[in-house]
Structure 1
Amino acid sequence: MLVLLAFIILFHITSAALLFIATIDNAWWVGEEFFADVWRVCLNATNCTEVNDTFEGYTTLQAVQATMILSTTLCCIAFLIFLFQLFRLKQGERFVLTSIIQLMSCLCVMIAASIYTDRREELHSQNQQFYPESSGGRYGYSFILAWVAFAFTFVSGMMYLILRKRK
Structure 2
Amino acid sequence: MLVLLAFIIIFHITSAALLFVATIDNAWWVGEGFSVDVWRVCINTTMNCTEISQSFEDYATLQAVQATMILSTILCCIAFLIFVLQLFRLKQGERFVLTSIIQLMSCLCVMIAASIYTDRRKDFHETNRIHYSPTSGGAFGYAFVLAWVAFAFTFISGMMYLILRKRK
Query: TM-score by structure 2 length?
Result: 0.94
Distance in structure 2 (CA, Å) of the matches to 1:13 and 1:20: 11
Please list, as runs of the form range in 1=range in 2, the aligned pairs for 1:79-158 lying within 5 A after superposition: 79-129=80-130, 130-132=132-134, 136-158=137-159
2:68 is paired with a residue of what secondary structure?
Answer: helix
Distance in structure 2 (CA, Å) of the matches to 1:99 and 1:166: 17
Distance in structure 2 (CA, Å) of the matches to 1:157 and 1:15: 11
Deviation (angstroms), 1:92: 3.8
- Structure 1: runs of 5+ lacking an equivalent: none
Deviation (angstroms), 1:166: 4.3
Runs (4+) of structure 1 exceeding 2 A deviation are 91-94, 164-167
Deviation (angstroms), 1:165: 5.6
Distance in structure 2 (CA, Å) of the matches to 1:63 and 1:39: 12
Distance in structure 2 (CA, Å) of the matches to 1:13 and 1:93: 23
Distance in structure 1 (CA, Å) of the matches to 2:80 and 2:112: 21
Deviation (angstroms), 1:119: 0.2
1:21 is paired with a residue of what secondary structure?
Answer: helix
Query: TM-score by structure 1 length?
Result: 0.95
* Per-residue Cα deviation, 1:22-46 (whole angstroms, up to 9, x for no partner): 0000000000110001000011123
Q: Quick one: which amino acid aligns to residue 131 of structure 1?
A: S
Percent identity, please.
81
Q: After superposing the two structures, state which structure 1 stretch, 6-15 or 84-93, moved more.
A: 84-93
- Structure 2: runs of 5+ lacking an equivalent: none
Distance in structure 2 (CA, Å) of the matches to 1:15 and 1:25: 15
Aligned residue for 1:7? 7
Aligned residue for 2:56? 55
Distance in structure 1 (CA, Å) of the matches to 2:161 and 2:15: 14
Deviation (angstroms), 1:127: 1.4
Distance in structure 2 (CA, Å) of the matches to 1:56 and 1:91: 54
